[in-house]
């Protein structure tokens, strides 16, 4: 016969409730006791019945994680960090990709609602009003979007944009192009807010744009024609596409124009020139989003994570 929870409790000399907590809320169990219970369960071949536990607790022990574009190298580290954090709390993560489409995003949320205990929304494209409406049916934590009364993990885009603009100003750049992302992007709004307050700089705005390499490639001729000596791009993919487009017009980076991205994805480090970028703490954000979702009484809590400028080869002194 299959081992039961009572068999495990008897084998390691603890109460049945301790075995139950080891699997349902391991962070509440003393590490030494937890190790003993897990070892006994492994020896006996015991596996908790998730369906029965869901009926007893009213929880599915699943959470949804919805990202704007899973092909963007920014998201996989965040996803892996969230999955690892959730696994440590005995939760499974269902990952879904909206392909930057708010209609798909809404559809996925409605589909997941009855299958999960909560949803992590990463870089959502839906309006705040729609997200608030959908949150009536399932708890949310939003990543990189501020919505009043809703738990959020924010990467400090404003801080990063200031660092980037200060770096460019220090290199003598005055006319700077700001290449934004898609409509409704919180990151774009934060970048534009900082740029609007920048003193002594002549900012030229381009957007909305697709947050992809193709988006950067498409806007390159306009950037080249505007007379800017530097560019702050929505993300690294846009920055890399922009560098490619400028190279096709025989405009050198950083000799003729400097380029800064956002995210610090691997392709930016491998590119030539290596991309100067604002590093976003994706791994930390993934872990924190899981913790916020599972915290009791975490409603409305907001965590803001620092960003950092990483100077590489795509920025240089302005040519006079």
- Classify residue 301: in a domain, yes or no: yes
Q: CA–CA distance from 166 to each of 154, 206, 229, 250 (Å)?
A: 22, 20, 14, 27
CA-CA distance, 249 to 319, in Å (whole number)?
18
Residues 188 and 239 in one domain: yes
Task: Specify which of 13-27, 28-42, 221-235 reaches the highest per-range mean pLDDT.
Answer: 221-235
Task: Note whether 221 and 300 are same-domain residues.
Answer: no
pLDDT tens-digit series, residues 112-160: 998 999 999 999 999 999 999 999 999 999 999 999 889 999 999 999 9
The per-residue pLDDT for 59 is 73
Give residue 204's pLDDT band: very low, low, confident or very high (50, 70, 90).
very high
| pLDDT tens string 295-314 | 854 567 999 999 999 999 99
Q: Which domain holds residue 218?
A: 157-280
CATH number assigned to the domain comprising residue 10: 1.10.260.40
**Rounded (5°) CA angle 102-103-108:** 95
Residue 53 is assigned to a structural domain of this protein = no
- pLDDT at residue 224 above 80? yes
Whether this prediction's pTM lies above 0.85 is answered by no
Query: Can you tell me the distance from the alpha carbon of 228 to that of 147, in angstroms, rounded to the nearest whole number?
Result: 34
pLDDT over 60 (residue 51): no
Based on the fold, state whether residues 205 and 267 are members of the same structural domain: yes
Question: Do 150 and 296 sit in the same domain of this protein?
Answer: yes
Whether residues 207 and 171 share a domain: the answer is: yes
Mean pLDDT of the chain: 92
314 within some domain: no
Residue 54: pLDDT over 70: no
Residue 217 located in a structural domain: yes
Rounded CA-CA distance 117/99 in Å is 23
Both 26 and 64 in a single domain?
no
Task: Tell me, yes or no, whether 227 and 85 share the same domain.
Answer: no
- Cβ(253)–Cβ(246) under 8 Å? yes
CATH of the domain at 198: 3.40.50.2300
Examine the domain organization and report whether 164 and 237 are in the same domain: yes
Whether 149 and 163 map to the same domain: the answer is no
pLDDT > 70 fraction of the chain, expressed in percent and rounded = 95
Q: Is 184 within the bounds of a domain?
A: yes
On whether both 104 and 218 belong to a single domain, the answer is no
**Would you say residue 317 lies in a domain?**
no
Confirm whether 313 is domain-assigned. no
Q: What is the pLDDT of residues 55-101, one digit of tens each?
A: 455 678 899 999 999 999 999 999 999 999 999 888 999 999 999 99
Domain tally, the chain: 3
**Residue whose token pair is 């084998």:** 11
> CA triplet 297, 121, 146: central angle to 5 degrees?
70
Tell me, yes or no, whether 235 and 168 share the same domain. yes
Domain co-membership, 9 together with 147: no
């Amino acid at each position: 016969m299959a081992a039961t929870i009572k068999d495990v409790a008897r084998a390691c000399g603890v109460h049945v409730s301790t075995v139950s907590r080891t699997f349902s809320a391991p962070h509440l169990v003393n590490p030494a006791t937890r190790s003993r219970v897990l070892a006994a369960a492994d020896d006996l071949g015991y596996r908790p019945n998730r369906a029965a536990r869901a009926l007893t607790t009213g929880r599915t022990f699943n959470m949804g994680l919805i990202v704007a574009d899973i092909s963007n190298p920014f998201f996989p580290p965040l996803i892996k960090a969230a999955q690892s954090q959730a696994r440590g709390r005995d939760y499974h993560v269902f990952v879904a990709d909206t392909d930057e489409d708010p209609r798909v995003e809404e559809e996925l949320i409605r589909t997941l609602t009855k299958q999960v205990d909560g949803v992590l929304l990463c870089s959502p494209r839906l309006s705040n009003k729609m997200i608030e409406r959908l949150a009536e049916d399932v708890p949310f934590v939003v990543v990189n979007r501020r919505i009043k009364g809703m738990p959020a993990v924010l990467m400090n885009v404003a801080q990063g944009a200031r660092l980037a603009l200060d770096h460019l100003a220090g290199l003598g750049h005055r006319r700077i192009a700001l290449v934004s992302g898609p409509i409704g992007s919180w990151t774009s709004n934060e970048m534009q807010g900082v740029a609007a307050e920048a003193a002594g700089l002549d900012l030229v705005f381009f957007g909305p744009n697709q947050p992809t390499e193709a988006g950067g490639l498409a806007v390159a001729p306009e950037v080249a024609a505007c007379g800017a000596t530097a560019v702050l791009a929505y993300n690294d993919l846009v920055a890399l596409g922009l560098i490619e487009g400028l190279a096709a017009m025989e405009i050198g980076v950083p000799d003729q124009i400097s380029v800064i991205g956002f995210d610090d994805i691997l392709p930016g480090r491998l590119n030539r020139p290596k991309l100067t970028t604002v590093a976003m703490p994706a791994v930390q954000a993934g872990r924190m989003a899981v913790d916020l979702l599972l915290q009791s009484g975490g409603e409305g809590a907001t965590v803001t994570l620092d960003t950092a400028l990483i100077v590489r080869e795509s920025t240089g002194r302005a040519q006079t």
